[in-house]
Amino acid sequence: MLQLHYAPSTAAMAPHILLEDIGLPYERVLVDTRTGAHKAPGYLALNPNGLVPVLTDGDLVLFESAAICLHLCDMHPQAGLAPAVGTVERAHFYKWLVWMTNTLQSTLIAYFYPHRMVNPGNTAAAAEVQTQAELRVGTLLAQLDAELARHGGPWLLGAHYSALDAYAL
């Protein structure tokens, strides 16, 4: 049985949306990060980083939201959530997905969790990290807005909804 291990307020949103878009039956498995369930030995066997989400499908165990999204797109091309492999459109799909996970999402993490970036208890440094991240987030969201405006519509790749739009949400 396909399972999506998630926490209530995490990046598991994009994989969850894609599972719904594709119409796959799956089970949601809550990983209560407030109680440390993501650091329990059983969960760390799925994702040694102790992060959510994780997708399990029999012997297949995938972590990292972007990897899960790519896998779902590749396994269910009939859903039309990604352009065909080998096309220019697919190259842009890869570019924006990697940009969202490596650039935008990492900056958002610095903004929302600045204490993770500094020595414990250094509130002044955490505040500075958050301030700088906020400035960067504004620039990145403007870049995303410009790409949407370039296509004149609500979808990142132009005329059609894709996994990128679920990820951007």
- Domain CATH number, residue 65: 3.40.30.10
Do 164 and 96 have their domain in common?
A: yes
Query: pTM score, two decimals?
Result: 0.92
Do 34 and 72 have their domain in common?
A: yes
Do 62 and 100 have their domain in common?
A: no
Do 35 and 7 have their domain in common?
A: yes
Give residue-wise pLDDT tens across range 77-105. Answer: 999 999 999 999 999 999 999 999 999 99
Under 8 Å between Cβ of 44 and 68: no
| Chain position carrying tokens 């407030």 | 34
In angstroms and rounded to an integer, the radius of gyration of the C-alpha atoms of the chain is 17
Under 8 Å between Cβ of 28 and 16: yes
Q: Which domain holds residue 69?
A: 3-79
Largest Cα–Cα distance in the chain? 51
Domain count, the chain: 2
Give residue-wise pLDDT tens across range 30-73. Answer: 999 999 999 999 999 999 999 999 999 999 999 999 999 999 99
Measured CA to CA, the distance from residue 88 to residue 46 in angstroms comes to 34
Which of the listed residues 34, 56, 79 is the one where a domain comes to its end? 79
Output the DSSP codes for 27-40.
EEEE--GGGTGGGS
Under 8 Å between Cβ of 46 and 61: yes
Give residue-wise pLDDT tens across range 104-160. Answer: 999 999 999 999 999 999 999 999 999 999 999 999 999 999 999 998 889 999 989
Which of the listed residues 28, 45, 79 is the one where a domain comes to its end? 79
Which of the listed residues 27, 46, 79 is the one where a domain comes to its end? 79
Do 54 and 123 have their domain in common?
A: no
